[in-house]
Structure 1
Amino acid sequence: MHSRSVVVAVLAGTVLVVAAPAQAAPSARPTPVTECGQTVTGPAYLARDLVCSGEGVRLAGGVLDLRGRTLQGTGRSDTGVALLAEGDVEVRNGRVTGFYQAVYAAGAGAKTIRGVTAEGNGTGVAAYGDMFDENQAEVRIIGSTVAGNTRGVSVAYLRHVEITGSTVRANGWGAELGWSGTGVVARSTFEDNELGLVCSVTCTVERSTFRSNTYEGIFQDDGDLTVRSSTFTENGTGYQGGMATARIERSTFTANDVGVRSSLELALELTGSTFTRNGTGYTDDPGVSGAPADLLTGNTFSRNGDGIVSDEPGLALGDNTATRNAGWGIHAPDAADLGGNRASGNGNDPQCVGVECGGPVS
């Protein structure tokens, strides 16, 4: 039992008793990780750099702080850090390289990867369930760098994933969010990947940058997608969608081969966005079965090869502006004209095909 001190004061005939609070129980000391294959419950820390021929560390609960050190595999076998506990666990502040999977997460609860650099692995961050048994983990990648992996982030049949304030760079596939649950990407950068972000779940992307990805910045395979206030620069295609619904608003597309490409059974709302110096601003996939039902309103297309080019029915255009494009301003012979479109100074005449356009644009 902890001792208590008692102060008694006599003042004007009144006795005042003050009891000092009991001392708090000392917090648990962090467990040092000193060897490969160790299973720990946090708080724990990596005591020194480790090179592991097999598994790195299993975290059974709590927080593992890598303390700026490196956990290194030999030949991309096994897992660097396995987050396998039921409940919330976190790995933070260090580098994991040379493993089949740098970080793997499973089990109910939030699995947080914070301030971690996962580079040179088969997969940087992974979490998989199966189609009959959803992985209950919620993966949160915060302030981390995922670089130089065959796959950067790969999750499937997962409840939820967040990528916030992170950089996904120079991977084969940058991040693949697949086949159930939801995904949120915010204030993150995807650059120099073969493919930036693949969404096959309900995805929300905000204030993020997609730059110099070989194929697409974002490829929407399935699931609903919302993109807000994001930039797409020097990608093969900034955004390409296939199915479900998508909304892109207040975003900027610059110097991509194609800014936005729509195809299959996509229903896209593209609004308030700016397209500059792209090969083509907006187009659809010619010869692909299915017809997009797209709505383009309030967008600006300037100094592209072509502004808007589409031969598909189901496209509706309103209040768009196309100026100084080398080829077509607006060429959409089967589009529904919602009015308010304007075009001038484009290389091909007429300035608009399929809709009536005012001009010149001030």
Structure 2
Amino acid sequence: MACGDVLTADTTLTADLTCTGTALTIGADDVDLDLNGHTITGSGTGNGLTAISRPGFTLRNGTISGFRYGIYLSSVSGMPRTDVTATDVRLLAAPIDAWPGTITFTGTRQDACLMSGLRLVDGLITIDRCTVTKQTVMVRSSGSAIRNSALTGGSLTVSATDQGTFTRNVFDAFPMGLSNDSRRNLVRANVFKNSATAGLGAAETFLPQDANTIEENAFTGNDIGLRSDSMLRHIIVRRNVFNGNNTVGIFVDNPWGPNRAGPDPVSDNVFVGNGHHPSGLVDGQGHPVQGGIHLSSRAALTPPVTLRNNVGIGNPGDHDGCAFPSA
């Protein structure tokens, strides 16, 4: 096998490859590429692997390093969508670019599967038992899932995505953002920690049946645990633990008004020791932000968000886990 080859049959790599430009192109459907423990190394340009309108592509057991894109997927109008299943593949300084595409990226153990950045538009991705680094962007990626993985040193942006699931991950200095056109996503049983901003940012959805659910997560050591600039309208926040976030556990700020709070209460959350190292952040009315929960809006709100069965311990201004500025 040589740099620049077009693969039309199952192939096993027998030695490392060092390439300038694109290394390999998948030229047929249902091709299986076994890297066999080897590395494909680039010079910072081109793609490690290119697949255009090639369903059934499988990739396993090796490393792709130093390309503009480690895996580049695309589809031609009227042709099949490209899909790839990658197992125990490490992408080093070689992000994935897919428009559109279906990607399954898994590891038999977390250190055997590494993704160094992703841009996915109009596609679907499943990431399971992997390490994810750098900027990760999912646009119109409905049905996607990230689970059982470690995300570190980057960020996750989820836009216009319906019914995604994000479960049992550790987001370490890896803030996540859910846009207001993302609906019915489930964020459950994750750890969000060490973010210099907000561990999780969530914008409103516009209909009750489209509510995103944030439940049973742990937020610890972030500047802000959870932030929303839209009064948590149609965002379900329940049974989370907010512990030791520097400025505030939950910050809800609606500087534009009027109140558009949704019917779902912030319920059964626990707030412990948040707000003891505030950053100096102020809300839209100029009030300092600090404590377990900080709510703010320009409108006259009674109340801006419904709070139910929350517990606060050792947060400045505790009142059922909450620190309220004047409206």
After TM superposition, the score normalised by the length of structure 1 is 0.72
1:296 is aligned to 266
Shift of 1:301: 0.5
d(CA) in 1 for partners of 2:70, 2:255: 41
- Give the aligned length: 281
Of the structure 1 ranges 100-109 and 88-97, higher mean CA displacement relative to structure 2 is found in 100-109
Q: 2:239 aligns with which of 246, 254, 272?
A: 272
Shift of 1:110: 3.4
Are positions 1:261 and 2:251 aligned together? no
Q: 1:285 aligns with which of 228, 253, 256?
A: 253
d(CA) in 2 for partners of 1:198, 1:223: 7
Q: 1:64 aligns with which of 22, 29, 33?
A: 33
- Percent identity, aligned pairs only, is 23
Cα distance change on mapping 1:299 and 1:253 into 2, 3 Å: same
Shift of 1:140: 1.1
Contact 2:114 2:132 in 1 (8 A): yes
Encode CA deviations 1:62-89: one digit per residue, 9 max, x unaligned: 2101111111111x22111113343211
Q: Which has the higher strand share?
A: 1
d(CA) in 2 for partners of 1:273, 1:180: 26
Q: 2:121 aligns with which of 147, 151, 156?
A: 156
Are positions 1:323 and 2:313 aligned together? yes
Shift of 1:285: 3.3
d(CA) in 2 for partners of 1:157, 1:318: 38
RMSD: 2.3
d(CA) in 2 for partners of 1:248, 1:239: 10
Are positions 1:81 and 2:41 aligned together? no
Cα distance change on mapping 1:292 and 1:88 into 2, 3 Å: farther
d(CA) in 2 for partners of 1:304, 1:260: 12
2:2 is aligned to 35
1:112 is aligned to 85
2:208 is aligned to none
Q: 1:179 aligns with which of 131, 140, 162?
A: 140
Choose between structure 1 and 2 for higher RCO, CA contacts under 8 A separated by at least 6 residues.
2
Encode CA deviations 1:188-231: one digit per residue, 9 max, x unaligned: 111121x2453441221011110123xx2x10123122111111
d(CA) in 1 for partners of 2:252, 2:53: 46
Give the residue type in structure 2 aligned to 1:315: V
Cα distance change on mapping 1:120 and 1:288 into 2, 3 Å: farther
d(CA) in 1 for partners of 2:240, 2:191: 10
Are positions 1:232 and 2:197 aligned together? no
Structure 2 unmatched runs, 5+: 76-80, 108-112, 206-210, 276-290
1:360 is aligned to none
d(CA) in 2 for partners of 1:289, 1:105: 43
Encode CA deviations 1:2-24: one digit per residue, 9 max, x unaligned: xxxxxxxxxxxxxxxxxxxxxxx
Are positions 1:146 and 2:146 aligned together? no
Shift of 1:288: 4.9
Are positions 1:307 and 2:265 aligned together? no
Contact 2:253 2:296 in 1 (8 A): no
Encode CA deviations 1:221-275: one digit per residue, 9 max, x unaligned: 2312211111111112111012423211111111110000012375211111111
Contact 2:202 2:228 in 1 (8 A): yes
Shift of 1:91: 1.3
2:287 is aligned to none
Are positions 1:248 and 2:214 aligned together? yes
1:223 is aligned to 182
Moved over 4 A (4+): 288-292
d(CA) in 1 for partners of 2:39, 2:84: 20
Contact 1:156 1:178 in 2 (8 A): yes
d(CA) in 1 for partners of 2:229, 2:253: 5
Are positions 1:209 and 2:167 aligned together? no
Give the residue type in structure 1 aligned to 2:86: I
2:150 is aligned to 189
d(CA) in 2 for partners of 1:183, 1:292: 28
Contact 1:262 1:292 in 2 (8 A): no
d(CA) in 1 for partners of 2:18, 2:82: 29
Cα distance change on mapping 1:79 and 1:292 into 2, 3 Å: farther
2:67 is aligned to 99
After TM superposition, the score normalised by the length of structure 2 is 0.79
